[in-house]
Structure 1
Amino acid sequence: MNIKDTANHYGFISRLNHWLGALIVIGMLAVGLYFNDMPRGDEKSYWLKLHIGVGGLFFVFLWFRVFWRVFTQSPQAFEQKKTLKRLTQIVHWVLLLSVLIMALSGPFLIWSRGAPINVFDWFSIPSPMGKMPDFHELMEEVHAIVAKVLLVSIIIHTLAVIKHRFIDKDQLLSRMVKFLRK
């Protein structure tokens, strides 16, 4: 088993980062979109605390996941039209940048209220700032907009994988799913 990426396949660390990161990001996105328009109350508070707890728990992992991808050599790109190749690069960069922005704006959303980040009552991360209402509003907007960008990027990424698997019938997916390799 390769720990690092090779010219043709992703290594164990990249595959773990991809699938665990996907579960975390999609789960956080689903929970965030679910409770976002709820009226204030116990149910919204429950989902918000879950969202914050998971975010606080996996904050360092998500940063590691992004930096691993940025600073390690990926397998060679599959041959495809120049425009599709460029679109692939753009979507991957938008995904990574969106995860980074969400992982920054989320904590700043809480801290700009002057509150600590409470991670399931196990520990809390104190606010490095006091209340900053204008900054808080900005972080709310950034977090909401980037959540939508992230959702669209995930959909495009998933559709591209489906295209490669069922239309192109190439082995792109096998790079990230070891049991599909021939």
Structure 2
Amino acid sequence: MNHLPTLDQPDVYGRFSRLAHWGGALLTLTMLVIGIVAEDVLPKGPERKALWAWHVAIGVFAFVPLAARIGWRLMAMVSGRSPRPLSPAGWTRVAEKVGHGALLAVLALMIVTGPLMVWSDGSPIHVLGWFELPSPMAENKALHYRTGLLHGLGSKLMILLVLVHLVGVARHGTASLRRMAGRHG
């Protein structure tokens, strides 16, 4: 049986990175799909409102794990503990690094703008009727408008970056999948 390292190694992502990646991807894609369906597919009404409630609730529960994922990845990058890039030196390696950095940056944007969008409207964040997170700020319509625009733009950028990421995965073939699955070589 293949020993799965806890921390990242030169040729493989460790348990923590894999859990953060796949867990973060699942949470992010779930919120993205729910948000798109609620905003662009459903008409105004109870179904749309219920779907938004789930989007917000998942966002509340995903806040800490997604923020930790960003922190963990940044620490690994700064400390040099990330596996070696799969792309050869040159523009493809730069694109790989920029793409990963952009994904983390847009994820951070979404984590910040989501709560700010609700709170700047003067509302608490309601979590499925279980509890609420009161607004730490007064109503600010200008901030509400801007954070709403940024959150919407972030969702479109996230779609684009996920597609670019999948192209990169396909370009690298099974090498990137083996790394993220915890298999060497």
Per the TM superposition, whether the score is higher than 0.5 is yes
In structure 1, distance between residues paired with 2:28 and 2:163: 13
In the alignment, is the contact (CA less than 8 A) between 1:56 and 1:118 conserved in 2?
A: no
Could you tell me which residue of structure 1 aligns to residue 151 of structure 2?
143
- Judging changes above 3 Å, is the alpha-carbon distance between structure 1 residues 128 and 45 closer, same or farther for their aligned structure 2 residues? same
Q: For residue 57 of structure 1, what is the amino acid of its counterpart?
A: F
Matched, 1:60 2:64: yes
Cα shift at 1:130: 1.7
Secondary structure at the aligned position of 1:50 is classed as helix
Q: For residue 124 of structure 1, what is the amino acid of its counterpart?
A: E
Q: Among 107, 113, 117, which residue is 2:115 paired with?
A: 107
Q: For residue 70 of structure 2, what is the amino acid of its counterpart?
A: V
Q: Among 84, 90, 94, which residue is 1:82 paired with?
A: 90
In the alignment, is the contact (CA less than 8 A) between 1:3 and 1:11 conserved in 2?
A: yes
Q: How many corresponding residue pairs?
A: 177
In the alignment, is the contact (CA less than 8 A) between 1:49 and 1:120 conserved in 2?
A: yes
In structure 2, distance between residues paired with 1:47 and 1:135: 24
Cα shift at 1:113: 1.2
Could you tell me which residue of structure 2 aligns to residue 120 of structure 1?
128
Q: For residue 118 of structure 1, what is the amino acid of its counterpart?
A: H
Amino-acid identity (%): 31
In structure 1, distance between residues paired with 2:72 and 2:127: 25
In the alignment, is the contact (CA less than 8 A) between 1:35 and 1:48 conserved in 2?
A: yes
In the alignment, is the contact (CA less than 8 A) between 1:28 and 1:51 conserved in 2?
A: yes
**More deviation in 123-132 or 102-111?**
123-132
Unaligned residue ranges in structure 1 (runs of 5+)? none
In structure 2, distance between residues paired with 1:123 and 1:62: 21
In the alignment, is the contact (CA less than 8 A) between 1:116 and 1:126 conserved in 2?
A: yes
In structure 2, distance between residues paired with 1:110 and 1:61: 20
Deviation per residue, 1:93-147 (Å, 9 max, x gap): 1100000000000000110111111222232211101211111010110001111
In structure 2, distance between residues paired with 1:39 and 1:139: 23
Unaligned residue ranges in structure 2 (runs of 5+)? none
In the alignment, is the contact (CA less than 8 A) between 2:87 and 2:96 conserved in 1?
A: no
Matched, 1:133 2:141: yes
Moved runs in structure 1, 4+ residues, more than 4 A? none
Could you tell me which residue of structure 1 aligns to residue 23 of structure 2?
20
Greater length-normalized contact order (CA 8 Å, ≥ 6 residues apart): 2
